[in-house]
Copies of this chain bind each other. A is one copy, B any other.
Amino acid sequence: MNYQEIVDTLFEQIKSQENKGEVASYIPELSKVDPSHFGICLKTMDGREFGAGDWQHKFSIQSIAKVLILSWAYKTLGDRLWERVGVEPSGNAFNSLTQLETDHGIPRNPLINAGAMVVCDMLLSQAESAKDDFLSFLRNISGNAHFQYSEHIAQSEKSVGYRNIALCNFIKSFENIKNEPEEVLDFYFHICSIEMTCQELAQTFMFLVSDTIKSFEGKIILEEFQAVRVNAIMQTCGFYDESGEFAFRVGLPGKSGVGGGILALHPEQYAIAVWSPKLNSKGNSYRGMKFLESFTSMTKSNNF
Protein backbone atom coordinates (compact mmCIF):
# COMPACT_ATOMS: atom_id res chain seq x y z
CA MET A 1 0.00 0.00 0.00
CA ASN A 2 1.13 3.54 -0.62
CA TYR A 3 0.92 6.24 2.03
CA GLN A 4 -2.53 7.49 0.96
CA GLU A 5 -3.95 3.99 1.10
CA ILE A 6 -2.44 3.35 4.51
CA VAL A 7 -3.77 6.63 5.89
CA ASP A 8 -7.23 5.96 4.46
CA THR A 9 -7.33 2.35 5.62
CA LEU A 10 -6.36 3.16 9.18
CA PHE A 11 -8.66 6.17 9.24
CA GLU A 12 -11.67 4.07 8.23
CA GLN A 13 -10.73 1.23 10.52
CA ILE A 14 -10.39 3.39 13.63
CA LYS A 15 -13.42 5.51 12.72
CA SER A 16 -15.51 2.34 12.66
CA GLN A 17 -14.48 1.44 16.19
CA GLU A 18 -15.86 2.89 19.41
CA ASN A 19 -14.55 6.37 20.23
CA LYS A 20 -13.57 6.21 23.89
CA GLY A 21 -12.48 8.86 26.38
CA GLU A 22 -13.67 12.34 27.24
CA VAL A 23 -13.33 15.73 25.58
CA ALA A 24 -11.28 18.09 27.78
CA SER A 25 -13.78 19.91 29.93
CA TYR A 26 -11.74 22.15 32.16
CA ILE A 27 -11.45 24.87 29.53
CA PRO A 28 -14.99 25.98 28.65
CA GLU A 29 -14.24 26.68 24.98
CA LEU A 30 -12.66 23.28 24.39
CA SER A 31 -15.63 21.40 25.83
CA LYS A 32 -17.82 22.72 23.02
CA VAL A 33 -15.92 20.87 20.30
CA ASP A 34 -17.74 18.12 18.40
CA PRO A 35 -16.15 14.88 19.70
CA SER A 36 -16.60 13.04 16.42
CA HIS A 37 -13.99 15.09 14.56
CA PHE A 38 -11.15 12.97 13.25
CA GLY A 39 -8.48 14.11 10.87
CA ILE A 40 -4.99 13.13 9.73
CA CYS A 41 -2.29 14.75 7.66
CA LEU A 42 1.00 13.12 6.71
CA LYS A 43 3.66 15.23 5.08
CA THR A 44 6.85 13.69 3.75
CA MET A 45 10.28 15.21 3.45
CA ASP A 46 10.00 15.27 -0.31
CA GLY A 47 6.93 17.51 -0.04
CA ARG A 48 4.10 15.08 -0.62
CA GLU A 49 0.98 15.41 1.50
CA PHE A 50 -1.67 12.82 2.44
CA GLY A 51 -4.86 13.75 4.27
CA ALA A 52 -7.96 12.04 5.59
CA GLY A 53 -11.14 13.11 7.40
CA ASP A 54 -11.19 16.56 9.00
CA TRP A 55 -7.63 17.28 8.08
CA GLN A 56 -8.41 20.80 6.98
CA HIS A 57 -10.53 21.74 9.97
CA LYS A 58 -9.00 24.10 12.58
CA PHE A 59 -8.59 23.01 16.19
CA SER A 60 -6.82 24.37 19.24
CA ILE A 61 -3.29 22.98 19.24
CA GLN A 62 -2.84 23.74 22.95
CA SER A 63 0.31 22.12 24.37
CA ILE A 64 1.68 21.19 20.96
CA ALA A 65 2.60 24.88 20.84
CA LYS A 66 5.11 24.23 23.62
CA VAL A 67 7.43 22.62 21.07
CA LEU A 68 7.18 25.69 18.86
CA ILE A 69 7.89 28.16 21.65
CA LEU A 70 10.74 25.93 22.81
CA SER A 71 12.19 25.91 19.29
CA TRP A 72 11.98 29.66 19.01
CA ALA A 73 13.55 30.07 22.45
CA TYR A 74 16.35 27.65 21.62
CA LYS A 75 17.05 29.59 18.44
CA THR A 76 16.92 32.92 20.26
CA LEU A 77 18.59 32.14 23.56
CA GLY A 78 20.82 29.18 22.77
CA ASP A 79 22.04 26.91 25.52
CA ARG A 80 21.47 29.34 28.38
CA LEU A 81 17.89 28.13 28.13
CA TRP A 82 18.98 25.03 30.05
CA GLU A 83 20.07 27.01 33.08
CA ARG A 84 16.45 27.47 34.06
CA VAL A 85 14.68 24.37 32.78
CA GLY A 86 15.70 20.69 32.64
CA VAL A 87 15.41 17.98 29.99
CA GLU A 88 14.22 15.07 32.13
CA PRO A 89 10.84 13.33 31.89
CA SER A 90 8.63 14.34 34.77
CA GLY A 91 7.04 11.06 35.82
CA ASN A 92 4.04 12.93 37.15
CA ALA A 93 0.87 14.55 35.88
CA PHE A 94 1.38 17.52 33.56
CA ASN A 95 0.64 20.20 36.08
CA SER A 96 2.18 18.69 39.21
CA LEU A 97 3.56 21.12 41.75
CA THR A 98 5.15 18.47 43.89
CA GLN A 99 8.13 17.87 41.69
CA LEU A 100 8.65 21.59 41.31
CA GLU A 101 8.92 21.87 45.08
CA THR A 102 11.53 19.11 45.22
CA ASP A 103 13.45 20.71 42.36
CA HIS A 104 13.36 24.22 43.87
CA GLY A 105 11.45 25.81 41.06
CA ILE A 106 13.41 24.36 38.13
CA PRO A 107 10.85 22.61 35.91
CA ARG A 108 11.84 19.15 34.77
CA ASN A 109 11.46 19.94 31.07
CA PRO A 110 10.07 22.58 28.73
CA LEU A 111 7.08 20.49 27.59
CA ILE A 112 5.24 20.50 30.90
CA ASN A 113 3.26 23.62 31.82
CA ALA A 114 5.81 24.81 34.35
CA GLY A 115 8.66 24.50 31.87
CA ALA A 116 6.80 26.27 29.09
CA MET A 117 6.08 29.15 31.48
CA VAL A 118 9.76 29.55 32.25
CA VAL A 119 10.50 29.54 28.51
CA CYS A 120 7.84 32.22 28.01
CA ASP A 121 9.35 34.25 30.84
CA MET A 122 12.83 34.14 29.29
CA LEU A 123 11.45 35.26 25.95
CA LEU A 124 9.50 38.11 27.54
CA SER A 125 12.73 39.36 29.11
CA GLN A 126 14.50 39.11 25.77
CA ALA A 127 12.08 40.41 23.18
CA GLU A 128 10.48 43.82 22.77
CA SER A 129 7.18 42.32 21.84
CA ALA A 130 7.33 38.60 22.43
CA LYS A 131 3.74 37.91 21.47
CA ASP A 132 4.07 39.53 18.04
CA ASP A 133 7.51 38.10 17.45
CA PHE A 134 6.38 34.56 18.12
CA LEU A 135 3.56 34.93 15.59
CA SER A 136 6.07 36.17 13.05
CA PHE A 137 8.27 33.17 13.74
CA LEU A 138 5.33 30.82 13.25
CA ARG A 139 4.25 32.48 10.03
CA ASN A 140 7.76 32.39 8.74
CA ILE A 141 8.49 28.72 9.42
CA SER A 142 5.14 27.60 8.06
CA GLY A 143 4.77 30.03 5.21
CA ASN A 144 1.30 30.67 6.56
CA ALA A 145 0.67 34.38 7.08
CA HIS A 146 -2.71 33.90 8.70
CA PHE A 147 -1.82 32.28 12.01
CA GLN A 148 -3.40 34.20 14.87
CA TYR A 149 -3.93 33.90 18.57
CA SER A 150 -7.48 32.96 19.44
CA GLU A 151 -8.51 35.62 21.95
CA HIS A 152 -11.65 33.83 23.06
CA ILE A 153 -9.76 30.59 23.80
CA ALA A 154 -7.01 32.48 25.62
CA GLN A 155 -9.64 34.29 27.70
CA SER A 156 -11.56 31.10 28.32
CA GLU A 157 -8.45 29.43 29.64
CA LYS A 158 -7.47 32.44 31.73
CA SER A 159 -10.90 32.51 33.37
CA VAL A 160 -10.49 29.03 34.84
CA GLY A 161 -6.72 28.64 34.87
CA TYR A 162 -6.32 28.48 38.66
CA ARG A 163 -3.88 25.62 38.49
CA ASN A 164 -1.72 27.46 35.99
CA ILE A 165 -1.88 30.67 38.03
CA ALA A 166 -0.78 28.61 41.04
CA LEU A 167 2.04 27.06 39.03
CA CYS A 168 3.38 30.36 37.74
CA ASN A 169 3.28 32.09 41.13
CA PHE A 170 4.89 29.06 42.70
CA ILE A 171 7.84 29.22 40.30
CA LYS A 172 7.99 32.97 40.89
CA SER A 173 8.35 32.27 44.63
CA PHE A 174 11.50 30.32 43.74
CA GLU A 175 12.61 33.31 41.63
CA ASN A 176 12.71 31.29 38.43
CA ILE A 177 10.14 33.63 36.86
CA LYS A 178 11.51 37.15 36.42
CA ASN A 179 8.51 39.02 34.97
CA GLU A 180 5.16 39.46 36.66
CA PRO A 181 3.14 36.20 36.68
CA GLU A 182 0.16 37.90 34.99
CA GLU A 183 2.32 38.85 32.03
CA VAL A 184 3.86 35.41 31.74
CA LEU A 185 0.48 33.72 31.97
CA ASP A 186 -0.99 36.03 29.35
CA PHE A 187 1.77 35.04 26.93
CA TYR A 188 1.45 31.39 27.84
CA PHE A 189 -2.33 31.27 27.41
CA HIS A 190 -2.06 33.01 24.06
CA ILE A 191 0.49 30.56 22.75
CA CYS A 192 -1.74 27.64 23.71
CA SER A 193 -4.72 29.28 22.03
CA ILE A 194 -3.42 29.01 18.48
CA GLU A 195 -5.58 27.05 16.08
CA MET A 196 -4.31 25.02 13.15
CA THR A 197 -5.56 22.31 10.83
CA CYS A 198 -3.77 18.95 10.71
CA GLN A 199 -2.37 20.09 7.37
CA GLU A 200 -0.98 23.31 8.83
CA LEU A 201 0.37 21.53 11.86
CA ALA A 202 2.30 18.95 9.83
CA GLN A 203 3.59 21.71 7.55
CA THR A 204 4.71 23.85 10.50
CA PHE A 205 6.76 21.05 12.06
CA MET A 206 8.72 20.12 8.92
CA PHE A 207 11.76 22.07 10.21
CA LEU A 208 12.18 19.36 12.88
CA VAL A 209 12.06 16.57 10.31
CA SER A 210 15.19 17.84 8.63
CA ASP A 211 17.41 20.90 8.60
CA THR A 212 17.22 20.89 4.84
CA ILE A 213 13.71 22.27 5.29
CA LYS A 214 14.07 26.01 5.28
CA SER A 215 11.84 28.81 6.49
CA PHE A 216 9.60 30.82 4.18
CA GLU A 217 12.43 33.30 3.92
CA GLY A 218 14.79 30.56 2.83
CA LYS A 219 16.80 30.47 6.03
CA ILE A 220 17.68 27.50 8.18
CA ILE A 221 15.44 27.47 11.24
CA LEU A 222 17.31 25.41 13.83
CA GLU A 223 20.85 24.11 13.66
CA GLU A 224 20.85 20.35 13.26
CA PHE A 225 22.22 19.77 16.76
CA GLN A 226 19.33 21.86 18.07
CA ALA A 227 16.65 20.11 16.06
CA VAL A 228 17.76 16.66 17.20
CA ARG A 229 17.66 17.86 20.79
CA VAL A 230 14.15 19.24 20.49
CA ASN A 231 13.17 15.89 19.00
CA ALA A 232 14.89 14.06 21.84
CA ILE A 233 12.90 16.09 24.38
CA MET A 234 9.68 15.32 22.52
CA GLN A 235 10.59 11.64 22.61
CA THR A 236 11.19 11.49 26.36
CA CYS A 237 8.78 14.19 27.58
CA GLY A 238 6.11 14.81 24.97
CA PHE A 239 3.22 12.89 26.51
CA TYR A 240 3.34 13.79 30.19
CA ASP A 241 2.96 10.62 32.20
CA GLU A 242 2.45 8.54 29.05
CA SER A 243 5.71 9.44 27.35
CA GLY A 244 7.18 6.00 27.88
CA GLU A 245 4.01 4.38 26.57
CA PHE A 246 4.14 6.50 23.41
CA ALA A 247 7.79 5.61 22.80
CA PHE A 248 6.90 1.98 23.47
CA ARG A 249 3.86 1.79 21.19
CA VAL A 250 4.53 4.41 18.52
CA GLY A 251 8.26 4.91 18.69
CA LEU A 252 8.40 8.47 17.38
CA PRO A 253 9.14 11.88 18.91
CA GLY A 254 5.81 13.67 19.32
CA LYS A 255 3.67 16.03 21.34
CA SER A 256 0.03 15.98 22.32
CA GLY A 257 -2.41 18.72 23.30
CA VAL A 258 -5.64 18.63 25.31
CA GLY A 259 -7.48 19.84 22.24
CA GLY A 260 -7.05 16.27 20.96
CA GLY A 261 -4.20 16.93 18.57
CA ILE A 262 -0.99 14.93 18.31
CA LEU A 263 2.01 15.78 16.21
CA ALA A 264 4.67 13.14 15.64
CA LEU A 265 7.59 12.93 13.27
CA HIS A 266 10.16 10.57 11.88
CA PRO A 267 13.53 12.30 11.43
CA GLU A 268 14.46 12.64 7.77
CA GLN A 269 11.15 11.06 6.70
CA TYR A 270 7.88 12.74 7.65
CA ALA A 271 5.72 14.73 10.03
CA ILE A 272 2.24 13.51 10.87
CA ALA A 273 -0.63 15.32 12.60
CA VAL A 274 -3.71 13.58 13.99
CA TRP A 275 -6.74 15.15 15.62
CA SER A 276 -9.59 13.59 17.56
CA PRO A 277 -10.94 15.43 20.62
CA LYS A 278 -11.67 12.56 23.01
CA LEU A 279 -8.82 12.04 25.46
CA ASN A 280 -7.73 8.93 27.34
CA SER A 281 -7.19 9.00 31.10
CA LYS A 282 -3.67 10.40 30.67
CA GLY A 283 -4.94 13.38 28.67
CA ASN A 284 -3.84 12.25 25.21
CA SER A 285 -6.13 11.77 22.19
CA TYR A 286 -7.61 8.26 22.28
CA ARG A 287 -7.92 7.84 18.53
CA GLY A 288 -4.72 9.77 17.90
CA MET A 289 -2.69 7.30 19.95
CA LYS A 290 -4.38 4.37 18.25
CA PHE A 291 -3.83 5.71 14.77
CA LEU A 292 -0.16 6.43 15.30
CA GLU A 293 0.54 3.04 16.83
CA SER A 294 -1.00 1.31 13.84
CA PHE A 295 0.66 3.68 11.42
CA THR A 296 4.27 3.11 12.53
CA SER A 297 3.58 -0.58 12.79
CA MET A 298 2.13 -0.81 9.29
CA THR A 299 4.78 1.42 7.70
CA LYS A 300 7.58 -0.11 9.78
CA SER A 301 8.68 3.43 10.52
CA ASN A 302 9.08 3.12 14.29
CA ASN A 303 12.23 5.09 15.12
CA PHE A 304 13.75 2.25 17.17
> Interface residues, chain A, CB within 8 Å of chain B?
86-92, 96-99, 101, 108-109, 162-163, 165-170, 172-173, 181, 224-225, 227-229, 231-233, 235-237, 241-245, 247-248, 251, 253, 267, 297, 300, 302-304
Contacts and interface: CB of A to CB of B under 8 A. Distances in A.
Contact of A241 (B88, B167, B233, B247): B88
Contacts of A302: 228, 232
Given A91-B91, A97-B98, 4 more contacts: A88-B89, A88-B245, A109-B244, A162-B170
Nearest to A170: B166
Nearest to A282: B88
**Which of A88, A98, A109, A241 lies at the interface centre, i.e. has the most chain B CB atoms within 10 A of its CB?**
A88
Contact of A89 (B243, B253, B300): B243
Given A167-B166, A244-B86, A267-B304, A251 B236 contact: no
Contacts of A181: 162, 165
Interface of A is mostly: helix
Nearest to A93: B101
Contacts of A303: 267, 303-304
**Which of A170, A247, A251 lies at the interface centre, i.e. has the most chain B CB atoms within 10 A of its CB?**
A247
B242 A88 contact: yes
B244 A237 contact: yes
Contacts of A267: 303-304
Contacts of A97: 97-98, 101, 166, 170
A45 to B, nearest CB: 15
Nearest to A300: B224
Contacts of A236: 89, 235-236, 243-244, 247-248
Contacts of A304: 227-229, 231-232, 235, 253, 267, 303
Contacts of A251: 228-229, 232
20 contacts: A88-B89, A88-B241, A89-B89, A91-B108, A97-B170, A98-B98, A162-B169, A162-B173, A163-B169, A165-B165, A166-B168, A166-B170, A231-B304, A232-B248, A232-B251, A232-B302, A232-B304, A233-B247, A233-B248, A267-B304
